[in-house]
Structure 1
């Protein structure tokens, strides 16, 4: 048995789905641990692009079982619409290869309505959420007023809980709260008939999976810098995106984990508001955005772009303890004459020990850059490490030396096979 955990090491959108897809070619199970349909993984296989949001990317492999763990917030309409979309693109037996924990929190359209209102309340301080209801659903979960999957199958209890939530939000937002509770209840009368085939005891399922000889791939959602505790708070998601969150969201035995891969884009991007020390809003940022096609799989929002920030990556490693890294989209840098890498933050000439929690300190900090010559040669679809120009190899080796973790996988294009694996 092997368990490979694949986690975003920056602010998300690093290209985790491609590595997950590759690892799932030999896996019997692919599992999601946290987040919801705010995630966005785009995988291109044989010229066909597949978008994953709530569902694990392992569904591309026709022999791989997929599981949505207890730490996920589960939007039922998105679940069925996403399955239908994958089926329409030719993936086989998708309805027979996906299971859901009975302990997931159910994300209602009610939560979606509230998400938009809360963002409006924040005004200029808005988080920049995907407005998919993720935050409000986790809020009700932690307030112990949320709805678990098991509640769905008890109509009276389910209705009582939904009405109680709706009444509370009605009192808070008044006429601004636009929500058709009767339509939601009617939809769940139908879901009550179609959901049971997918729902399992999540704890029992994962225990059995780990006791078997299965190869398991864990697909992280979002990324370390969006973690509710360790990310660039408050501009974060509402779930635990760390290795610890993965373990808790899936009841993994930590001793069973064989590899923890941190996925790092060869430059830095983020969506939404919040600090971004290496962001470039002029020529460099625009060039990265256009060459890298930097717009969200889930939201279609254009991503903010800038140079690789190794302060962030090293901080990420100090929390997730990666055993290897996957450097993605190296080919996007092919035409740059000079490449810069952030290697420190300083205040008054003194280097900060780590990525700071204090936003005032972060705002005052100056970025120290290391410059390297670009390779100005195409790396797209390179298949071996020696196929890369020397300057590109120097870039790779500088990163792994600085972070202290080997770069085992290097992405050199959008296709499934455009991946170098180093021994």
Structure 2
């Protein structure tokens, strides 16, 4: 048996929620290792939808331990609201099924405000990134700047004033420069004091907890947010998120060593989507793009923003396979392609008259590349609900095999509808 890391291999929104939920039945512990409540996914269990943004998927499964690792930035108000919302749906969250790393960074109101101020200014200057305005980036900045307030600080309100002073020295200087009113020391103290009682019962030394559980033989599922092409280092910078989204972050963001990670499962949509600004070589601004968006219900779980849609980009996913060390992929939303006469797959790009096999790191070059396509015959039969290879049309199987060959990784799972049981299992990652 092995541990499993789940990462998105594109720009996020690949359908990780269903796959993580499917895997969580086989896991003992589900660990969220990066990001914040800027990412979200929907779980459908026995006809009930649960929308999660911050809490790991394991919280909706009885007998599972959900863990928020140190790599996550936590808005305590969003955390409490999500806990209360699940409680209203009959899912009780207690320290028995949720633990939060004591050294995780908190998102405060001043982070959300700064995020919005910057995005508004960027909109006016044409440099908008398309953030969710939830304070994720500014919170990570404070973490790296060594002035963050962390979960453990809520337990020692006596030492908090000096830390708040240090934080405000930075933020109020920024706000003055931006023509905004300063934040008062007392306002931040009141904000932190108000949430301490709800958050602290879940606090734990997560690296130690996970190490002990690993030694006992527990199966651990590491759950990432967003996707590889939104990674702060390996993504389409600057149109990226503020954290590392690749599989290596599962170790750093949880406190477990890389040797404990095991199987790396890349969740991969059978076409391509992205939300927000930034390059998208295979984007379709035509009736096929509209078809994919409508058939695939392509709207963001957190923001409700319409996703941009395009053909499958094998060159991008091939990069993700390398950056993550992906063992196998879970191919999702194959059914959305049902009925199309032909399908295209991007296998590389043209840049300045030269064909290249990867997306360059340069922002200008990313905006200039043109996709190189191969064309495959589509299929008219439905793949919805298929649970074995024999249920799939021959052309659908051919498409899947072509994807495997082009990205250099096998399909471990194939998803054919939003329902969790409509999944073709080729390899169980926990048993590989």
For the residue of structure 2 that corresponds to 1:96, the secondary structure is: coil
Q: Which residue of 1 aligns with 2:362?
A: 358
For 1:32-71, what aligned pairs fall within 5 Å after superposition? 32-71=32-71
Q: Which residue of 1 aligns with 2:284?
A: 280
Conserved? CA contact 2:332–2:414, under 8 Å? yes
Conserved? CA contact 1:2–1:214, under 8 Å? no
Which of the residues 421, 424, 427 maps onto 1:417?
421
The runs of 5 or more residues in structure 1 that have no matched partner are none
TM-score, normalising length from structure 2?
0.94
Conserved? CA contact 2:207–2:256, under 8 Å? no
Tell me by how many angstroms 1:187 deviates: 3.8
Q: Which residue of 1 aligns with 2:311?
A: 307
Tell me by how many angstroms 1:94 deviates: 5.1
Conserved? CA contact 2:80–2:198, under 8 Å? no
The one-character-per-residue Cα deviations of 1:275-301 (angstroms, maximum 9, x if unpaired) are 000111221111111111111111111
Q: Which residue of 1 aligns with 2:117?
A: 117
The one-character-per-residue Cα deviations of 1:41-62 (angstroms, maximum 9, x if unpaired) are 1111121111111100111211
Q: Which residue of 1 aligns with 2:15?
A: 15
Q: Which residue of 1 aligns with 2:87?
A: 87
Q: 1:353 to 1:402 in 2, by over 3 A?
A: closer
Q: 1:365 to 1:240 in 2, by over 3 A?
A: same
Q: Which residue of 2 aligns with 1:127?
A: 129
Which of the residues 194, 200, 204 maps onto 1:190?
194
Give the paired residue count: 423
Q: Which residue of 2 aligns with 1:28?
A: 28
Q: Which residue of 1 aligns with 2:146?
A: 144
Q: CA RMSD in A?
A: 1.7
Q: Which residue of 2 aligns with 1:219?
A: 223
Q: Which residue of 1 aligns with 2:430?
A: none
Q: Which residue of 2 aligns with 1:153?
A: 155
Conserved? CA contact 2:164–2:188, under 8 Å? no
The runs of 5 or more residues in structure 2 that have no matched partner are 428-432
Between the aligned partners of 1:116 and 1:130, the Cα distance in structure 2 is: 9
Between the aligned partners of 1:103 and 1:9, the Cα distance in structure 2 is: 28
Between the aligned partners of 1:81 and 1:344, the Cα distance in structure 2 is: 44
Give 4+ residue runs of structure 1 displaced > 6 Å after superposition. Answer: none
Between the aligned partners of 1:262 and 1:142, the Cα distance in structure 2 is: 28
The reply on whether 1:336 has 2:340 as its aligned counterpart is yes
